[in-house]
Amino acid sequence: MTSSFSIRDGVDADLAGIVNLNDSEIPHVTAIMVEALKALTDQAFYFQIAESHAGDIIGFVLALAESATYRSLNFHWFKARYPRFVYIDRIVVSRPRHRTGAGKLLYADLFEKAQNRTPLLTCEVNIRPPNPGSVEFHQRLGFQQVGTQETEGGKKTASLLVKPL
The yes-or-no verdict on residue 98 having pLDDT over 90 is no
The yes-or-no verdict on residue 1 having pLDDT over 50 is no
Judge if the upstream peptide bond of residue 132 is cis by omega within 30 degrees of 0: no
- Residue 108 lies in domain: 5-164
Q: What confidence tens digit (pLDDT) does each residue in 50-78 have?
A: 999 999 999 999 999 999 999 999 999 99
Q: Residue 50 sits in a domain of what CATH number?
A: 3.40.630.30
Domain total of the chain: 1
Number of Cβ within a 10 Å radius of residue 144: 12
Average pLDDT value for the chain = 94
The yes-or-no verdict on residue 4 having pLDDT over 90 is no
Q: What confidence tens digit (pLDDT) does each residue in 14-64 have?
A: 999 999 999 999 888 889 999 999 999 999 999 999 999 999 999 999 999
